[in-house]
Structure 1
Amino acid sequence: MNLKKLFASALLTVGLCQNVFAKPVEIDKVVGVVNQGVILQSEVDTIVNRVKTQAAEQGQELPSDDTLRIQAIERLVSQELMMQLAERMGLEISDSQLDQTLENMAREQGGSIADLRRTIEAAGDSYPAYREEIRKEITTQQVTRMNVDRRIYISTQEIDNLLKIMESQGKNAEEYDIGHILIDIPSDATADEIASAKTRAEKVIEFLKEGKEFKRIAISSSSGSKALEGGQLGWMSINEMPSLFAEAVKGHKKDDIVGPLRSGAGFHIIKVQDVRGRQVVETTEVRSRHILVKPSIILSEEKARDMLKGFAKDLRDGKADFGELAKEYSEDPGSALKGGEYDWTDPSTYVPEFKNTLLSLDKNEISEPFRTQFGWHIVQLLDKRVADKTEQAKRNRAHQLLFNRKFKEESFNWQQEMREQAHVDIFPTE
């Protein structure tokens, strides 16, 4: 049985007992059912209160509590579906992997985990609860990546075509800071429902052109995945945007409102919040080598980390050869036979944990063991250089741009399909 269902059952028992002896006191309640799981009022309240706190700090006006509640429940439904899928897939984020992520987060903020904990508690939040929330975020990211990646295919011809476009744009290609509102349409919508959705979209555009705050309208009206963030998609080049957006936004100026744009999901409204030129003259490239050890039923997380810790000590003491250790122990088939070596590469193509660790090293320095989604690593920085982008680096960049565009599109489609196949029952407010 789902843990939250057990919790809900326990609360019901408490309530029944209280009915016998005294006036019942409501501790928490179930506001919705998602397959075998439940959504609790306390979870909804946590999200709503966080959005309110952030809005107060930014001096931002928010829509009604009912609207915030609907958006919070939608986010929790999506999260619950992904966590259920993670459980079926056997995907679990270990404590050591979670600690590694928190250490990276604290380091990026210029502090330690202790500093991060003090900051969380000073804001009135529970650090253990925050820690579990980060675990859920990592889990949902990995579930999404594992299920969406396999839906994406990028051909050599697509890369060649994009390279030609990038070359024609030159080094001053523009990037757009995009705000997004989606007025959704059910997959089986009638002609009247489609017309009604279009009318609502046009009304939203009218409000925006009158100067109403975009973020507030996005929170209250949008069905997009970033609704609670005020519909903020951030900076993107034309090549990174979904195709529908790219064609419509190109050439528009700051503060332009674009739309409504029709897709299978509904009507999209885009605000060009800012535009900037992108200049890439040179890039940092690194040459490195690493050893990857994957935890398993036989080899625990701790033993994998300790094994690499021992390797790192022997290498620093001159008692072992990196290449030989990589050939014998590394589980990265792409580099093990080459002594763990990677040729000159733009580090941005690596996963964040690997990139950040690599860039923190001095030449020939060997890292401490660290965790990525692939397993435990130690890495040695062999050399670093600043150079013009090579043809291979350009192709890597083009591939990543195409991947980002398709990932956004396929991620939305996948989540929509998962939602349509699920049993979701949201209870009305009393």
Structure 2
Amino acid sequence: MKTKLIDRLRPLMLGAVLLSGAAHAAPQPLDRVVAIVDNDVVMQSQLDQRVREVQQTIAKRGGGVPPAGALEQQVLERLIVENLQLQIGERSGIRITDEELNQAVGTIAQRNGMSPEQFRAALAHDGLSYDDARDQIKREMIISRVRQRRVAERIQVSEQEVKNYLNSDMGKMQMSEEYRLANILIPTPEGANSEAIQAAARQVGDVYQQLKQGADFGQMAIARSRSENALEGGEMGWRQAGQLPPDFAKMLSNMAVGDITQPIRIPNGFIILKLEEKRGGSQSVLRDEVHVRHILIKPSEIRSDAATEQLAERLYDRIKSGENFGELAKSFSEDPGSALNGGDLNWVDPNSLVPEFREQMANAQQGEVTRPFRTQYGWHVLEVLGRRATDSTDKAREQQAMNVLRNRKYDEELQTWLRQIRDEAYVEIKLPGADQAAQ
């Protein structure tokens, strides 16, 4: 470990020696280490950049922007935990290909109603380089996959748990409401003594009084909260009532939008919740379904993409000339799940399909055969056989309950896992004025 760290720092040390001997050279600011994190480091330049990004995000929300010094420790802690997850990803062999990264960047641009060029321009307007944005997206994708492997894949929800939840009085009540929440967390150390608990209680009491006197909740979360989402103003997003402890759900059901709770004692500290929005109701769920069949032709080592497209075009021409779609699918389609059925995918939910397939299907008339088009799987020819709307209220409720139970378990497991990897890591903070921490 020491050798790796010295190897990382040697270029910085060498740079300092060279600059000290250059009597006539203009002084250049040197980057420096602000935290040692296991086998890696966090640099001042990383910290400064992330602080600027947080300040810009706060400014866009219309709140007062805290000075950089007030954010540094909070941002540094976030970078340390991110760094640990990235190191886990590297050791686990998690890689993001250029194709995956390009697709993710394109999806983000599309969700914001922008073309790739407009997305670049928007980043430049905000003072962010396109390469830095791509790098941050890549980091987030790696972290997401690490969490998927280490946390999400361990979570299991049985059918019996879903049934028990739906049949319980609490489940019936909680399934009808959703809350958009924000939080401020004041933690206590594991195995904290009464003195530490009382100190945390005084701190959260001070935060609560400032909120009651009109302090901005988001600003207080950024400045005082130790929750993972503190830098987002404590925003937790939408939560089903069933994802929350029953006491929380009961409390929130009687609150008005904009209200905050009194400090609540939880196992790892104290928390204050703010109810940003609420929604819910028992309404029938109608789901659009499409009956579709297709022929899939895949490129391979012996067949180029251009040759694959040409084969798909020839099959399209043969279908338009009157040959049977199903028989051609049985002979040529390389989709093992549908080829033997004449390419029939049966009734499908469009949202379960890749965007290119979904778009072609949406634009095709019933009985129409589309021209060949490409997806990540290869070249397709499809035919829409029918459309319908089905009442999937019961299925939707079961899926909703499954998501609630999984999300509840995931949130609990994620926070436990993040604390665990942080506690087990060697961390030495070198930020001036910050407490030193090491393990």
Counterpart CA distance in 1 for 2:51 and 2:313 is 49
Partner of 2:410: 407
In structure 2, the partner of 1:106 is 109
Deviates more, 1:376-385 or 1:24-33: 376-385
Amino acid at match of 2:128: D
Cα deviation digits, residues 124-161 of structure 1 (max 9, x gap): 22111111111111111111112112331212222012
Any idea what the Cα deviations from partners look like across 1:88-134, whole Å, max 9, x if unmatched?
Answer: 11110100011111122222223321221122123222111111111
1:315: how far off? 6.0
Partner of 2:22: 21
The answer as to 2:253 corresponding to 1:250 is: yes
Q: How far does the alpha carbon of each residue in 1:1-43 deviate from its partner, in whole angstroms, 9 at most, with x for none?
A: 8999755432221111111223753231110011001001111
User: Are 2:387 and 1:368 aligned?
Assistant: no
2:229 matched to 1:226?
Answer: yes
Say which of 180, 183, 208 aligns to 1:180.
Answer: 183
The one-letter code sitting in structure 2 at the alignment partner of 1:159 is V
Report the more deviating stretch, 60-69 or 41-50: 60-69
The alignment status of 1:398 with 2:397, answered yes or no, reads no
Q: Aligned partners of 2:342 and 2:260: how far apart in 1?
A: 54
Q: State the superposition RMSD in angstroms.
A: 3.7
Aligned pairs (5 A) from 1:148-159: 148-159=151-162
Aligned pairs, how many? 411
Instruction: Summarize the alignment of residues 2-401 of structure 1 with structure 2, pairs less than 5 Å apart.
Output: 8-22=9-23, 25-164=28-167, 168-169=172-173, 173-241=176-244, 245-278=248-281, 280-287=283-290, 316=316, 321-322=328-329, 344=347, 350=352, 354=353, 356-357=355-356, 359-361=358-360, 362=362, 363=364, 368-370=374-376, 376=377, 384-401=387-404
Residue type at the aligned position of 1:368: R
Q: Which has the higher mean CA deviation after the structures are superposed, 43-52 or 274-283? A: 274-283
Letter paired with 1:273: E
1:268 deviates by 1.4
Q: Which moved further from structure 2: 140-149 or 211-220?
A: 140-149
Rounded to whole Å, the distance in 2 between the matches of 1:120 and 1:202 is 40
Q: CA deviation at 1:312?
A: 6.0
Shift of 1:84: 0.5
- After superposition, the C-alpha distances for 1:39-76 in whole angstroms (9 at most, x for unaligned) are 01111111111222233333312444333101111111
Contact 2:174 2:249 in 1 (8 A): no
Question: For the structure 1 residues 247 and 5, does the alpha-carbon distance in structure 2 shift closer, same or farther, using more than 3 Å as the test?
Answer: farther
- % of aligned pairs identical? 30
- One-letter identity of the residue aligned with 1:106: A
Deviates more, 1:247-256 or 1:237-246: 237-246
Are the counterparts in 2 of residues 174 and 278 from structure 1 also a CA contact under 8 Å?
A: yes
1:359/1:269 Cα in 2 relative to 1: closer, same or farther (>3 Å)?
Answer: farther
Is the deviation greater in 399-408 or in 56-65? 56-65
**Alignment partner, residue 373 of structure 1:** none
Counterpart code for 2:375: P
Distance 1:265 1:176 in 2: 23
Distance of aligned partners of 1:57 and 1:391 in 2 relative to their CA distance in 1, 3 Å threshold: closer
Q: Does structure 1 conserve the Cα–Cα contact (< 8 Å) formed by 2:298 and 2:308?
A: no
Do the aligned residues in 2 keep the contact of 1:28 with 1:41 (CA within 8 Å)? yes
* Cα distance in 1 for residues equivalent to 2:5 and 2:379: 38
The CA distance in 2 between the partners of 1:291 and 1:426, in whole Å, is 58
Over 3 Å counting, the alpha-carbon distance change for 1:314 and 1:137 in structure 2 is: farther
**CA shift at 1:203, angstroms?**
1.9
Deviations for 1:356-394, whole angstroms, at most 9, x for unmatched residues? 445433246575223xxxxx5778685553332153343
2:288 touches 2:350 (CA, 8 Å); kept in 1?
yes
**What letter is aligned with 1:274?**
E
Is 1:178–1:233's contact at 8 Å kept on the other side of the alignment? Answer: yes
Please state how far the C-alpha of 1:307 moved relative to its aligned partner: 9.7
Three-state SS of the structure 1 residue aligned to 2:199 is helix
The one-letter code of the counterpart of 2:277 is D
Cα 1:7/1:126, change in 2 over 3 Å: farther
Check whether the contact 1:244–1:261 (CA below 8 A) recurs between aligned residues.
no
SS in 1 for 2:258: coil
CA distance in 2, matches of 1:41, 1:256: 39
- CA distance, structure 2, for counterparts of residue 311 and residue 226 of structure 1: 51
**TM superposition score normalised by structure 1:** 0.82
How many Å apart are 1:310 and its aligned residue? Answer: 7.6
Which segments of 5 or more consecutive residues in structure 1 lack a partner in the other structure?
A: 371-375
Quote how far apart the aligned CAs of 1:227 are.
Answer: 0.4
Q: In 1, Cα distance between the equivalents of 2:346 and 2:223?
A: 49
Q: Which amino acid aligns with 1:369?
A: T
Distance change in 2, residues 1:245/1:293 (3 Å): farther
For 1:138 and 1:368, the matched residues in 2 are separated by 25
Q: Write the letter of the residue equivalent to 1:264.
A: P
CA–CA separation in structure 2 for the residues paired with 1:394 and 1:259 = 32
Counterpart-to-counterpart distance in 1, 2:222 and 2:414: 21
Contact preservation (8 Å) 1:346, 1:393: no
8 A Cα contact 2:204 2:270, kept in partner: yes
2:179–2:277 contact (8 Å) kept in structure 1: yes
Q: In the aligned structure 2, how far is the partner of 1:75 from the partner of 1:278?
A: 37
